[in-house]
Amino acid sequence: MPTLSFNMNCVADFFTYETTKSVVVKSWTIGVINRAVQLLIISYFIGWVFLHEKAYQIRDTSIESSVVTKVKGFGKYSNRVMDTADYVTPPQGTSVFVIITKLIVTENQIQGFCPENQLKCKSDSDCQNPVSAAKGGGIPTGRCVKYNDTSRSCEIQGWCPAEVDNVNVPVMLEAENFTLFIKNSIRFPLFNFEKGNLLPNLTSEDIKTCRFNPTNQPFCPVLRLGDIVKFAGQDFAQLADTGGIIGIKIGWVCDLDYSWDLCVPSYSFNRLDSVSEKNKVSPGYNFRYAKYYKQENGTEFRTLMKAYGIRFDVLVYGNAGKFNIIPTLINTVAAFTSVGVGTVLCDIILLNFLKGADQYKAKKFEEVSETAFPPDTSCSSMYRSNQTLGGRCEEKQSTDSGAYSIGL
Ligand SMILES: *[C@@H]1O[C@H](CO)[C@@H](O)[C@H](O)[C@H]1NC(C)=O
């Protein structure tokens, strides 16, 4: 055979179009199942994927945000009036700050040697135990010294006198009436969308008088601390006593297909350190800090404070969506493709469970035996590689993937 015509045959074989031969089954049962499955898939895509999950939108989840806080109010603590500079730490107005509600103060500490208050002892040997060393207020010297008229305790080197923190001190309950002003700006970089929690209809008079309330005043940026703690399901007096961490969450979930005004913040509150609520080992939140001074003669001394307080963490989260043609196209194609999934289910039912399944099988799978066709030598080597032994191309259609023949 001349090489040219051999090649022409191959080219002609290549430029063909294969289409699937369909078997129409006129059965009510399978027909109803088929349409029901298709309806189910279509309604899932329209109802859930498109309307609920908004698959036609492109979503920006990388919200940029800044938070400024300011606490106002006066409290009374150990014959002193406490103002913002006394009880808020750090003072910069960050999104995480502590309102100190209880203080254990140890004044005039200097570097030296003194008895520790927790490690009682009878002789020096009681103070040689290395396990107890970590407990005290300094480095143990290993000596047992006089603590007061009736008892002796282990000596330490460090800031003296050592702190006594197992005492009952009052709580600054006025903190319940303090107000917290939150200024939050956000931006969705993908859409260059900017907004803040001070909505345009808020007047300077409102800011002075309004108090946040989820039902009446959901957009007031001034919150009463007692309310925040109550919304988080906690008791203020108890929380102020042990200390704790409260989360103030500001959510910005926006559909930018609607107007700018409809993108508004939503506030929610909860206790973040629920672990300290549920165990007795470390029930709450406290920390120590000190103020340092110098005497005339140059010796340094300090006032040590163990502070209990409520820490507030302002957490901002959010995402925004806007119509975009690419996700719309991708999801529409996915929806149409998925309608075809119904045929798999229908085929299983048709070929296995329906009355007359054998007849349907016979119609669906045509058997072609090898001997039915004479050897065809015009077949190209490309096709031959797909064929059974002997290099015969008994049927062109058999080059199809043949997924259904598994059922035979
Ligand atoms: C908070 O303010 C209210 C009303 O002004 C007052 O009745 C209440 O005693 C205050 N609470 C505390 C703990 O001072």
SS3 82: strand
Mean pLDDT, to the nearest integer, of 119-143? 76
Closest Cα to residue 226, out of 374, 73, 348, 103?
Answer: 73
230 is in an annotated binding site: no
Relative to the CA of 175, which ligand 1 atom is closest? Answer: 13
Nearest CA, atom 5, ligand 1: 177
Residue pair 229/246 in contact by the 8 Å Cβ criterion: yes
pLDDT for position 389? 44
pLDDT for position 282? 82
32 is in an annotated binding site: no
Instruction: Calculate the average pLDDT of the chain.
Output: 86
Pocket test for ligand 1, best of 77, 177, 225 (most atoms within 8 A of CB): 177
61 is in an annotated binding site: no
How far is ligand 1, taken at its centre, from the CA of residue 18, in Å? 84
How far is ligand 1, taken at its centre, from the CA of residue 328, in Å? 56
Q: Is the CB of 43 under 6 A from ligand 1?
A: no
pLDDT for position 274? 85
SS3 297: coil
- From residue 67, alpha-carbon distances to 138, 178, 205, 246, 317 in Å are 39, 19, 22, 16, 12
Closest Cα to residue 60, out of 324, 327, 322, 264?
Answer: 322
Mean pLDDT, to the nearest integer, of 4-24? 81
Question: In the structure, what pLDDT confidence band is assigned to residue 108 with cuts at 50, 70 and 90?
Answer: very high
How far is ligand 1, taken at its centre, from the CA of residue 67, in Å? 28
pLDDT for position 224? 95
Closest Cα to residue 245, out of 223, 202, 206, 274?
Answer: 274
288 is in an annotated binding site: yes
Residue pair 128/142 in contact by the 8 Å Cβ criterion: yes
How far apart are the C-alpha atoms of 100 and 96, rounded to whole Å? 13
50 is in an annotated binding site: no
How far is ligand 1, taken at its centre, from the CA of residue 177, in Å? 6
pLDDT for position 400? 41
Q: Is the pLDDT of residue 81 over 70?
A: yes
Question: In the structure, what pLDDT confidence band is assigned to residue 312 with cuts at 50, 70 and 90?
Answer: very high
* pLDDT 10s digits, 313-364: 999 999 999 999 999 999 999 999 998 888 888 888 888 888 888 888 888 8
How far apart are the C-alpha atoms of 254 and 264, rounded to whole Å? 8
Q: Is the CB of 173 under 6 A from ligand 1?
A: yes
Q: Is the CB of 177 under 6 A from ligand 1?
A: yes
